[in-house]
C-alpha cells in the first residue's frame, strides 16, 4: 500500500498460481505433465509491466529456481494481450489461474504445480465509516476465497 495510506486497511485475498498458455496446436498442449526442461526451449511472450520491475525480477527468479530461463521473443503490456499473441501462435506465456475463463479461442492452459511464482490480489478499504455494502463485500470475498481454496484447481482448459 502507499506510504500515505494510514486511513486504509488491506487484506490479501488470493495468491493466484500461474498456468502455462500454449497455442491449441502446440505439441505441449496435449502433455499431461510438464517439466521445467519443456519450457526452456520455448519462445515466450513476456508480460512486461514497465512500472513493476520488482514483479518482473521475482518472476525471473522463480523461473531460475524452477530450472529454466524464458526466451522472450515478444512482449505484451498485460496478460490478455499476451494470450492473444499465444492464440496467434507467437509463443507461450504464463497467466494467473483466475484468468482461465477469459482465454481466447485457440489457447490451452496447463498446470505448473512446481512453479512457485504467484500473483497476489488485494482488497483495500477505508478503516473508518465502513458502509454496510463494503462490509458485505469483504465478507463475500472472504467466503468465496474459502470456497476457492477448498476446490481442486487443476486446469486443462481448451477454448
Residue 159, pLDDT score: 42
Residue 112, pLDDT score: 94
Contacts within 8 Å (CB) and 24+ apart, 147-150: 148/14
Give the Cα separation of 46 and 57 in Å (integer).
12
Residue 68 lies in a domain: yes
Residue 7, pLDDT score: 83
Residue 53, pLDDT score: 54
Residue 22 lies in a domain: yes
Residue 131 lies in a domain: no
Place of cell 491449441: 24
CATH assignment at residue 71: 3.40.190.10
Give the Cα separation of 107 and 99 in Å (integer).
12
Domain total of the chain: 1
Residue 20, pLDDT score: 96
Residue 141 lies in a domain: no
pTM of this structure? 0.77
Residue 42 lies in a domain: yes
**pLDDT by 10s per residue, the chain, length 159:** 556 678 888 888 888 999 999 999 999 999 989 999 999 999 999 887 655 555 678 888 999 999 999 999 999 988 999 999 999 999 999 999 999 999 999 999 999 999 998 888 888 878 876 788 888 887 887 787 655 543 444 444 444
Helix, strand, or coil here: 4? coil
Q: How far, in whole angstroms, is CA 128 from its chain's centroid?
A: 32
Residue 32 lies in a domain: yes
Residue 45 lies in a domain: yes
Strands 118-126 and 8-23: antiparallel
Residue 157, pLDDT score: 44
Q: Tell me which residue range forms the domain holding 107.
A: 16-121
Amino acid at each position: 500500500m502507499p506510504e500515505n495510506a494510514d486511513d486504509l486497511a488491506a487484506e490479501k485475498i488470493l495468491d493466484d498460481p500461474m498456468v502455462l498458455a500454449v497455442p491449441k496446436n502446440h505439441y505441449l498442449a496435449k502433455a499431461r505433465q510438464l517439466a521445467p526442461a519443456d519450457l526452456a526451449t520455448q519462445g515466450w511472450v513476456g508480460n512486461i509491466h514497465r512500472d513493476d520491475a520488482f514483479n518482473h525480477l521475482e518472476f525471473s527468479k522463480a523461473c531460475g529456481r524452477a530450472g529454466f530461463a524464458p526466451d522472450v521473443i515478444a512482449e505484451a503490456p498485460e496478460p490478455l494481450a499476451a494470450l492473444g499473441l499465444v492464440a496467434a501462435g507467437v509463443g507461450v506465456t504464463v497467466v494467473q489461474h483466475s484468468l482461465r475463463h477469459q482465454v481466447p479461442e485457440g489457447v490451452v492452459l496447463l498446470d505448473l504445480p512446481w512453479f512457485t511464482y504467484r500473483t497476489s490480489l488485494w482488497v483495500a478499504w477505508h478503516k473508518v465509516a465502513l458502509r454496510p455494502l463494503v462490509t458485505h463485500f469483504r465478507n463475500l470475498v472472504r467466503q468465496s476465497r474459502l470456497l476457492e481454496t477448498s476446490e481442486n484447481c487443476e486446469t486443462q482448459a481448451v477454448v
